[in-house]
Amino acid sequence: MMISAQSEKRISHTEEYDHQSLEKIRWKLRWILKYIGFGVLAKYEGAEGLENFPNEGPAIVMINHIALIDPVVVLGAMPRNVVPLAKIEVYQYPLIGIFPKLWEVIPVRRQEFDRRAIRQALGVLDAGECILMAPEGTRSPALQRGKEGIAYLGAKSGALIIPVAVTGSKGFPTFNPLRWLKKGASVKVGRAFRFRTGDERVDHETLRQMTDEAMYVLAELLPDDHRGVYSDISKATTKTIEFV
């Protein structure tokens, strides 16, 4: 999600979000993910660090994005239901497009400041629930520069940021039997943090710093060859974040 000084305007109202009406269907979909999806289309190795995931309250799950299946793996692995932000095109995918519709994934127009997506995301967070974001905005085997949407939503909502590293997902989903002989997808949940914002409105330069500091936290959870532009961990700072 792109943020610019020219396009950003203050958003003071959130979309109404009916949490209770969606919980039952999402738990049913999670059962399908865990016992059918992970057994048919993806090899799932497990999750590490789930004790770092908060039992309640709003949170933004921040992931790296290697393969199409990454958000689905994270959805099935987390102890609470999570609402992903995803490119609007996922609703048009053949067959699997029904899944984001039923889950009510938040569709995002990636090349613009999508106010509707932001309002929907803030509505979910305002209800005390969790959203999922891939700050890079595209798939890549190693981290690319994160976009400022993660910092904007984190600063505006005050929600916890939960870094979640995904590895081993390359090549999935697949029906190739040989792929199942190799290691599958796994996730690692890192320590939660918040952005330090104070009482003043955050400018674009600060959003950029917040985003990079958050991305370095995510990079530390990944193997060296997955860290990409954030490979030099010695450059990591924590001026705008505080761990909880």
Whether the pLDDT of residue 120 is over 60: the answer is yes
Structure token pair of residue 15: 């979309």
Nearest Cα to 110, choosing from 236, 3, 27, 235? 3
Q: Which of 11-20, 51-60, 114-123, 206-215 has the lowest mean pLDDT?
A: 11-20
Q: In this predicted structure, what is the pLDDT of residue 236?
A: 97
Query: Per CATH, which fold does 20-243 belong to?
Result: Glycerol-3-phosphate (1)-acyltransferase (3.40.1130)
Q: What is the mean pLDDT of residues 125-149?
A: 95
Q: In this predicted structure, what is the pLDDT of residue 17?
A: 65
pLDDT digits (tens, 9 = 90+) for 18-74: 666 788 888 888 888 777 777 677 788 999 999 999 999 999 999 999 998 899 899
pLDDT digits (tens, 9 = 90+) for 159-208: 999 999 999 988 877 677 776 777 889 999 999 999 998 666 789 999 99
Burial zone of 161 (CB within 10 Å; 0-12 exposed, 13-18 middle, 19+ buried): buried
Q: What is the mean pLDDT of residues 144-160?
A: 95
